Amino acid sequence: MGARGFRRTAASRAVLAVLQGSRGMTARAIHDRLIATGETCDIVTVHRVLRRLSAAGVAYPVPCGSSVGYRLAGPQDPVLQCVRCGVTTPLSGAVTTALAREADQAGFTVGPVVTGHCPDCRRRA
């Protein structure tokens, strides 16, 4: 791994540490926190890390005031899971909230997994 790869990994780790325990933070807020704790990464790197975490399903965008924040996906968050191949994708915060509210009105608690068929399996079916 080159110095470049190392910096990328360090930035991911730092962003993950900030997001840990947060209910949603904007890239700007994450960057401010990093700077306050003596990290030297720039806002562009924070955006890049967030896009990567989001693509990997590790974090997902949530509404954060008038802006968009990011929140770590956790076991408390329902995911969509394909019943055929098992691939999962996190549900957005808005969907999660709506689902939990609907379920609560019906006296249900929501399980962590909402099942269905992923795009690949739908194409193959």
Q: Tell me which residues in 63-82 interact with Zn ion (CB under 5 A).
A: 82
User: What is the distance between the alpha carbons of residues 22 and 10, in angstroms, rounded to a whole number?
Assistant: 19
Q: Which of 28, 51, 52, 84 binds Zn ion (CB under 5 A)?
A: 84
How many positions of this chain bind Zn ion (CB under 5 A)? Answer: 5
Task: State yes or no: residue 114 binds Zn ion (CB under 5 A).
Answer: no
- For the CB of residue 78, give the shortest distance to Zn ion in the complex, in Å: 17
Task: State yes or no: residue 83 binds Zn ion (CB under 5 A).
Answer: no
Residue with tokens 């329902």: 78
User: What is the distance between the alpha carbons of residues 118 and 61, in angstroms, rounded to a whole number?
Assistant: 21
Alpha helices in the chain (DSSP H): 3-19, 27-36, 43-55, 93-105, 119-124
By the criterion CB under 5 A, which residues form the site for Zn ion? 82, 84-85, 118, 121
